[in-house]
Amino acid sequence: MEDLFFYSALYLSIIMFLPLYRAVSGPTILDRLVGVNAMGSKTTILLIVVGLIYGRVDMFIDIALAYALLNFIAVLAASRYFHKKKGIEDEEQSGL
Amino acid sequence: MCSMTTNWKLTSFRLTVLIVFGLWVLFSGRFDPFHLTAGFICSIIVGLMSGDLMFTASPTRDILLLWMRLAGFLPWLFYQVFRANVHVLYLAFHPRLAQRIDPHIIEFDSRLTSDYARTTFANCITLTPGTITVSVSAVGRFRVHCIDAQSAAALPGDMEARIAKVFGE
Amino acid sequence: MNELITIIWLGGLLFFTGGSIGILRFPDFYARLHPAGKLDTAGQFLALSAVALYVLQDLSLHTFLTAAKLILIVIFVYITGPTATHAIVDAGVRAVIEPWVQPERRT
């Protein structure tokens, strides 16, 4: 069972590169937000798995809960901030 | 009338303190008198500051009945969410994705009237993969972004009827 | 018991994989929100349930508290997931970004 969780942690960290690519390459700010949100939800699970591997789930679960909260607040604040057409469209034209 | 609102405020305050204190006990995991007393004092302070935030609804007599009907509604919702999840999972692995999906925004009028019912309905639509609520107007007009025709066909349909039954409309 | 936990856990990983691949493959961010927001929520639900079952195998007060916290995370995710998704969609709508549609739908 510990082996399963260990290899799942490896697999999750590899899977996290796909949203990371989306977060780095865009094309718009909102795409980056989607990527960051998806990475955050995987990080929550990864933290709990790390806790399982070290045998300290009761401690890591608080960190995971705080991370889930932080992820939610970050996405909410950022999407409130980037709602102007100008900022998003400028980035599209510059081809990033 | 005035006494009734005062009564409701008191009930709301007590419920908030109860919930916050329960969360405190759950998160601290310690049951010695010092931690329980500190938690109780903190819960009362939080209840005083934000006791009117959590239960802003008009005082309904049968709030317990509402929660029970909501609990009866949840298994069906989870089944729907699971089915739609599998559908979106199938779409994500589909080799010819760009031809298979058909994203578009549909609009429909809902017959739900209360704020709570509309919020629950919008949240359930967003929770079901394949459909995202874009906006809800003041007269109950929903704009929903659908990923393909199959997701769009399910709206408003059964879900609205069930939520109307839960909220007694 | 271990087999059940393994199956639930692998189901969670499958949903995570689908969500990550969907984020790469869907055409624009309105469509990307469908796999990103929902499949991740489902994956978290399955994975956290598996961990809760695993923790509950040796039953004591501490493991019970841990499992309760895991369930709290699930409830929290199920309330905040749609909210975050709606916030991103709302930002796109207020910036007047047109959703990607099939070529034959364009007029």
Chain B residues with CB under 8 Å of C75 CB are none
Residue B40's CB is within 10 A of a number of other CB atoms, namely: 15
pTM of structure: 0.83
Angle between helices A29-54 and A2-15 (to 10 degrees): 160
Answer yes or no: do B77 and B130 share one domain: yes
CA dist B58 and A70 (Å) reads: 32
C76 contacts chain B (CB < 8 A): no
Total number of domains in chain B: 2
Residue B61 pLDDT = 58
CA dist B95 and B75 (Å) reads: 32
ipTM over 0.85: no
User: What is the pLDDT confidence band of residue A95, given thresholds at 50, 70 and 90?
Assistant: very low
The reply to whether residue B126 touches residue C82, judged by beta carbons under 8 angstroms, is yes
CA dist A46 and A53 (Å) reads: 10
Answer yes or no: do B120 and B140 share one domain: yes
Residue A92 pLDDT = 57
CA dist C14 and B97 (Å) reads: 18
Residue B60 pLDDT = 57
Listed by start position, the domains of chain A span: 2-89
Range of the domain at B29: 2-54
Mean per-residue pLDDT over chain A, rounded? 83
Of A8-17, A36-45, B131-140, the poorest mean pLDDT is in B131-140
Answer yes or no: do B84 and B27 share one domain: no
Residue A90 has pLDDT above 70, yes or no: no
Task: Name the residue among B52, B2, B46 with its Cα closest to residue B24.
Answer: B46
Nearest to A88 among C40, C80, C95 (CB): C95
Range of the domain at C26: 2-105
